[in-house]
Chains A and B, each alone.
Chain A
Amino acid sequence: MIKNFADYIVYSVVGASPETRFGTALNFFIYDSIKIFILLSVIIFLVAIVRSYFPPERTRRILSHKREYIGNALAGLLGIVTPFCSCSAVPLFIGFVESGVPLGVTFSFLVSSPMINEVALVLLLGLFGWKVALLYISTGLVVSVISGIVIGKMRMERYVQDYVYQTKVGNIEIAQQNFREKIEYARDYTRDLLKRIWPYVLIGIGVGGFIHGYVPSDFLLKYAGPGNPFAVPVAVLIGVPLYSNAAGTIPIVQALMGKGMPIGTVLAFMMAVTALSFPEAVILKNVLKMRLLLIFFGIVAAAIIGVGYLFNSVL
């Protein structure tokens, strides 16, 4: 139905021919924009309702005094459903470690929570299909669990800022919302989020459409194909300064995949965009000493690069 609408607008109203580059690019742009905005509205709304059942206070209670391995796996899973904003990273971190969540388990949460976020999921689902979306979730979980276990084994507790373990965390019971309030909250949340990200989504889809129509296929095969061993680490490096802007980058990456970028490189790039962000590093500096901060980012980056190589060689 959306396809027919896009065809109608492009070929009848605008009068472009499906044979021209302009026609394909515009068609791609209109079709994807409509599809993505419908998906964003529905899925973000549903995710917001699910998340209202997992406030961070509850997640902390579940993870408190859990052992490694099982704790890391749980933290990765809870990271998906617990709402997280990098602006809350400091109180969250202190609250977790102070109430007995092991350091490595806390890090598993800190990796999976921003990486597996609703906007990235919608764009992956809408543009790449459910197989890639599922692949992204499962490899994201693996990266978060491995990173957390490694940091846990390294016994890095003394590289947490000294005041963290001295801070007293009070206990609160925040009033539970009733179902109507949850619905209202989810509606407002969806509206606010869409308001914030729509320009990036449109620009991303626009650039993607341009690449789709104008860049020759296999263009990237030479530079970023499976034959180039540096493609994965370079993709990760490029991903870091993109500030968790999944909304703008995923449509572009999707178009690049059509031009010969292999799936492992694509996954690594997207994980770098969502999980390794410079502003988050600045915020985490408040609770981590430089050494642990660098080790944390280094381990996550290494795990992401590993995933990239693995998928490039297997698929």
Chain B
Amino acid sequence: MKTAIKSLVRLCSGVCFIILLSYSAASAQCDADKYTNKCMEKLTTGYTFMKSYKIDGNGGSKPKVEYSYVFSKGTNYMVTLANKDPELKGMSLSLYDSSRRLVASNKVDNKYFSAIGYTCAATGIYYLTFTFDETQDYCAAAVLGFSSKK
């Protein structure tokens, strides 16, 4: 009888542990939507919203999040970023062209810009690569806007 009770207690503890673990993982989920509005506010006048991106580093297990988009020659694009840090420290964006050459980055002299404008010179697939450099906050959002005006 004692053995049966012990087994049941062990089983209960195991199940509870798994449930609590799942609960804590769920509560640490990235709610990027709250940062999307901040990104929208940063979009300079004259730019039209086009797309929002959720940047979820899964609590640090995913140090890099990448999206692709076809950019058009002559169009001005703007990417704005936001996370819980007003200075966006450690949240880096690198833009690569279709040949995987780096054409733009929001990190200059250790400063992280939260808005980056890019005038596209060649139509093609571009890669927006977001990396968590020096931050423990693995949740952010970005917004892509465009302007066709010269």
Pair from one complex: no
Q: Which residues of A contact B (CB under 8 A)?
A: none
Q: B residues bordering A, Cβ < 8 Å?
A: none
